Amino acid sequence: MKSSTLIITLLLALCAAMYFLGKKNGTTELKATIINNQQLITQIAELSALDVSGNTSVKLSNAGDNSSWWENLKDYLAENTLQVTVPYHAKFGVDMQQGKVNITENDSAVLLNFPSVKMLSFQLELDKLETMNQTGLFSRTTIADMKRAEREMYVAAKGQLENNTSYKEKAKKHIAEIFTNYYKPLGYKVICNFTQP
pLDDT in tens, 141-181: 777 888 888 888 889 899 999 999 999 999 999 888 888 88
Of 118, 104, 112, the closest CA to residue 177 belongs to 112
For the purposes of burial, counting CB atoms within 10 Å of the CB of 142, is it exposed (0-12), middle (13-18) or buried (19 or more)? exposed
pLDDT at 32 (0 to 100):
42
Contact 109, 191 (CB under 8 A): yes
Q: Where are the beta strands (DSSP E) in 62-159?
A: 80-94, 102-105, 109-114, 117-124, 130-135
Average pLDDT, the chain: 76
> What is the C-alpha to C-alpha distance for residues 32 and 29, in angstroms, rounded to an integer?
5
Does pTM top 0.95 for this prediction?
no
> What is the C-alpha to C-alpha distance for residues 136 and 121, in angstroms, rounded to an integer?
39
> What's the whole-number mean pLDDT along residues 35-64?
70
pLDDT at 45 (0 to 100):
56
pLDDT at 169 (0 to 100):
92
Q: Is the pLDDT of residue 33 over 50?
A: no
Q: Is the pLDDT of residue 82 over 90?
A: no
Share of the chain above pLDDT 90, in %: 12
- Enumerate long-range contacts of 3-6, CB under 8 Å, 24 or more apart: none
As beta bridge partners, residue 135 has 80
